[in-house]
């Protein structure tokens, strides 16, 4: 598989969308991006060494196995990923890592939201289930942590509902006008949507809240050296607990996350088109909370591209009426201003499973082209219906 243009590279923008048929490779590429981003973060923090990742078959059999893509590899598989601090090249079964001369690196909080996420809502004690995909357990941990941090009911963007979590009973509930429903008894769409929304909200709003007196004062090398010293303090059995606690606080500030990288499989899952619009605008809103945040989505829904086009056009209009409060208020009623996006921040890639290729979707004045695989599928339905009408006329 390779990109037809841009010398074979896929650029990860602030908002990146992968579309294509099932089995076309969308999720596999998204999982690789998630894996490499995490690996670069681990190297930058000093959690892992280059030699740890370069050990024979470690990349494929351990890190790719975590995402269940280790059996996708062939003898001629070639992968190259260029990050900010490191570049990764996989060829002939070996992974090679090079250090890049780039002093600027921002620490990401990477969250991979799997398509199987409704398990965490529908099943009692999903953590006790065996053989589920590993990313689902990671997502479950984030969902559980996010629920316990909720102090007041959270208003949801769909169905006029709120979400609350009763800590003593450990019950997640949906609250309507005059009723309450346990999450495990809610509709499949809500079971899929709510974990995505709660985790996204929690992580996006949590970026930058940690105490960080070292930010912009220490270089990356200095942070790594200090981190090593702090770890030595933590392992010293002769030191008292107060000093160790201070070291932990400082260590936390050194490894705080600078931005949120949200990677979501099929955000439209089990949702009515109007609800798809609301969840997409919510994801865009939380992506806009930090200028470095990134949102990557895989989708089969033709509505997603249309909603992105709306958000882009709304942003263009916002820039023209920024000094007119009345028009801004009118615009905000149509689409919340916090969800508008710049066309330059969006990249959409089409995956073709037949040709084994990827191409970037073209745009017209910043608006994604309506000539894409998803819209073509809708057009095909109209064409089939026309053919049926022709036969009917011949009867």
CA distance 245 to 225: 19
The residue out of 74, 105, 136 marking a domain boundary is 105
Q: Which residue is listed with tokens 């894996």?
A: 35
Q: Is residue 37 part of a domain?
A: yes
Containing structural domain, residue 242: 220-254
Residue 57 located in a structural domain: yes
Domain count, the chain: 2
Domain closes at, from 50, 71, 105: 105
Tell me whether residue 77 is in a domain.
Answer: yes
pLDDT higher than 60, residue 211: no
Mean of pLDDT over the chain: 85
Predicted pLDDT at 215: 43
Prediction pTM value? 0.84
pLDDT of residue 213: 38
What pLDDT score was predicted for residue 224?
A: 62
Residue 234, pLDDT score: 66
Domain contains 192: no
Q: Is residue 360 assigned to a domain?
A: no
Q: Is residue 352 part of a domain?
A: no
> Tens of pLDDT along 261-286?
999 999 999 999 999 999 999 999 99
**290 pLDDT exceeds 70?**
yes
Tens digits of per-residue pLDDT, 165-181?
Answer: 998 888 999 999 888 99
Q: Is 43 domain-assigned?
A: yes
Question: Among residues 235, 254, 273, which one ends one of the domains?
Answer: 254
**Domain assignment present for 80:** yes
């Amino acid at each position: 598989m390779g990109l037809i243009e841009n010398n074979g590279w896929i650029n990860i923008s602030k908002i990146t969308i992968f579309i294509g048929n099932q089995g076309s490779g969308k999720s596999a590429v998204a999982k690789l991006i998630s894996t490499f981003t995490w690996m670069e973060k681990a190297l930058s923090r000093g959690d892992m060494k280059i030699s740890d990742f370069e050990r024979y078959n470690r990349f494929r059999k351990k890190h790719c196995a975590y995402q269940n893509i280790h059996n996708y590899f062939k003898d001629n598989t070639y992968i190259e990923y260029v990050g900010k601090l490191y570049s990764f090249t996989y060829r002939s079964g070996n992974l090679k890592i090079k250090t890049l001369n780039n002093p600027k690196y921002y620490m990401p909080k990477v969250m991979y939201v799997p398509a199987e996420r409704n398990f965490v809502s529908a099943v009692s004690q999903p953590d006790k289930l065996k053989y589920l995909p590993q990313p689902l357990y990671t997502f479950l941990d984030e969902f559980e942590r996010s629920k316990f941090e909720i102090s007041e009911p959270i208003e949801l963007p769909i169905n006029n509902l709120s979400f609350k979590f009763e800590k003593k009973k450990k019950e997640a509930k949906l609250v309507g006008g005059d009723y309450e429903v346990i999450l495990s008894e809610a509709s499949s769409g809500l079971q899929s949507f709510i974990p995505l929304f709660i985790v996204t909200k929690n992580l996006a709003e949590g970026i930058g809240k940690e105490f960080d007196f070292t930010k912009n004062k220490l270089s990356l090398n200095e942070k790594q050296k200090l981190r090593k010293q702090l770890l030595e303090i933590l392992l010293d059995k002769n030191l008292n607990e107060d000093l160790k606690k201070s070291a932990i606080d400082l260590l936390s500030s050194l490894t705080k996350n600078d931005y949120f990288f949200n990677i979501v499989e099929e955000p439209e899952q089990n949702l009515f088109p109007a609800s798809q619009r609301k969840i997409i605008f919510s994801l865009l809103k939380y992506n806009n909370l930090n200028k470095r945040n990134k949102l990557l989505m895989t989708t089969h829904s033709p509505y997603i591209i249309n909603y992105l086009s709306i958000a882009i056009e709304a942003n263009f209009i916002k820039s023209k009426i920024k000094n007119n409060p009345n028009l801004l208020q009118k615009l905000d009623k149509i689409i919340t201003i916090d969800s508008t996006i710049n066309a330059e921040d969006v990249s959409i890639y089409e995956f073709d499973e037949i040709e084994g290729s990827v191409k970037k979707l073209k745009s017209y004045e910043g608006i994604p082209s309506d000539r894409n695989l998803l819209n073509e599928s809708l057009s095909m339905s109209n064409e089939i219906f026309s053919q049926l009408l022709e036969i009917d006329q011949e009867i």
